[in-house]
Amino acid sequence: MQASQAAATPVLTPTSTHGSNQSHRHTKRTAKDYIFGKLIGEGCYSTVFLAKDIHTGKEYAIKVCEKSYIVRHQKVQYIKREKDALNKLFNVPHGFVKLYCTFQDDERLYFVLSYAKNGELLHHINKVGSFQLNVAKFYAAELLLALEKMHANKIIHRDLKPENILLDENMHLQIADFGTVKILESDFKRGSSQNTTDKVEELKEKSDETNDRSRKNSFVGTAQYVSPDILQTRIDTPASDLWALGCIIYQMISGLPPFRASTEFLTFQKIMKMEYEFPEGFPSDAKDLVEKLLLLDHTKRLGANDIGDTYESIRKHPFFDGIDWDDIWNQTPPTIC
């Protein structure tokens, strides 16, 4: 498809709706309002650049997507969901990159995001090899709090991994890359109370996505962190993010993800067979928590049956002893070492 054809497709409604930044609120932004700098991230269908607002000098991470690619690869729904999820989370004070505005030109879509200066958690894990226990515990706690907010907003990330977890200028955690999210209309944590229209819409979306996924023999997520439920049944529940939490805690402490193989296929096989082991010296509380998160049956994972908007059963696990859940975002994070 030619770029001119793609431009006619209403891929995304531009917005500049959020009140916290006056300069974004009242003016219609274009790419000319920014000086684009270095490349800071690359996804399957997007590229992220560091950019400076020419009016304020403020730095942003601008995610750029080629419209022709989005249309050709039928990713329009993904882009819309990413924007919806980021909008839903805009007023959550901690734990997420913020979407300040979107705009488009003939060829591209632009997402203006907060810039997480200290980059990917993966980079920090790899730099030191593995985290000391207090560091792993701190970031696991911030990740859990962010998951609570995301799931309370009925958003399942489906691709949590240390590359999608960024650190801001104060070294606090921010979840990024909502390109694979699922936004559920039903109250998934408490069970029922879903109206018929919601149900029909959700089923339609699910069926479209399942067709899409099976047609391309693809899956949502990244091989090493994908849960067996997504692999096997393609059921979307918040417990798939709890599985990823287990993998990330394991990786922060040991340096590597639990399920590793030379190909995606072999990685999937290991996940389905729960073929992983703990290295010697892995702390026992951490081991117990990881074992309770990495369960094949998603309904049995720690937290999966918690009522309300917090994961009390995970918060109470001995691994998190000493964490002040009400104050963590105000604390100075422990030095990574």
Instruction: Give the shortest CB-301-to-ligand ADE separation in angstroms.
Output: 28
- Residue number with CB closer to ligand ADE (70 or 289): 70
Sign, CA torsion 116/87/314/230: negative
Q: How far apart are CA 317 and CA 315, in angstroms?
A: 6
Residues 6+ apart with CB under 8 A from 90: 18, 98, 99
Both ends of the chain: CA-CA distance in Å?
50
Q: How many positions of this chain bind ligand ADE (CB under 6 A)?
A: 12
Residue the block writes with tokens 């690869």: 73
From residue 44, give the alpha-carbon distance in Å to each of 9, 31, 48.
21, 22, 11
Instruction: Give the shortest CB-244-to-ligand ADE separation in angstroms.
Output: 18
- Residue number with CB closer to ligand ADE (177 or 229): 177
Beta bridge partners of 175: 96, 165
Annotated active-site residue 198? The verdict is: no
Amino acid at 83: K
Find the part of the chain contacting ligand ADE (CB under 6 A) among 113-121, 264-272, 274-282, 310-318.
113-121
Interface positions, 176-235, toward ligand ADE (CB under 6 A): 176
Instruction: Give the shortest CB-82-to-ligand ADE separation in angstroms.
Output: 12
- Residue from the set 97, 109, 247, 248 that interacts with ligand ADE by CB under 6 A: 97
Interface positions, 35-74, toward ligand ADE (CB under 6 A): 40-41, 48, 61
Instruction: Give the shortest CB-50-to-ligand ADE separation in angstroms.
Output: 7
Q: How far apart are CA 289 and CA 4, in angstroms?
A: 53
- Residue number with CB closer to ligand ADE (166 or 286): 166
From residue 135, give the alpha-carbon distance in Å to each of 108, 131, 139, 336.
39, 6, 6, 6
From residue 247, give the alpha-carbon distance in Å to each of 26, 157, 159.
43, 15, 12
Instruction: Give the shortest CB-125-to-ligand ADE separation in angstroms.
Output: 16
Cβ atoms of residues 60 and 43 within 8 Å? no
Find the part of the chain contacting ligand ADE (CB under 6 A) among 115-123, 270-278, 314-322, 327-335.
115-123
Q: Estimate the share of the chain in helix, then strand, then coil, as percent rounded to the nearest 5.
A: 40, 15, 45
Cβ atoms of residues 76 and 11 within 8 Å? yes
115 binds ligand ADE (CB under 6 A): yes
- Residue number with CB closer to ligand ADE (90 or 278): 90
- Residue from the set 85, 86, 165, 166 that interacts with ligand ADE by CB under 6 A: 166
Say whether 189 counts as a known binding-site residue.
no
Residue the block writes with tokens 């990159």: 97
Q: Which of 53, 159, 177, 229 is catalytic?
A: 159
Chain residues binding ligand ADE by CB under 6 A are: 40-41, 48, 61, 97, 113-116, 119, 166, 176
- Positions marked catalytic: 159
Instruction: Tell me the binding residues.
Output: 63
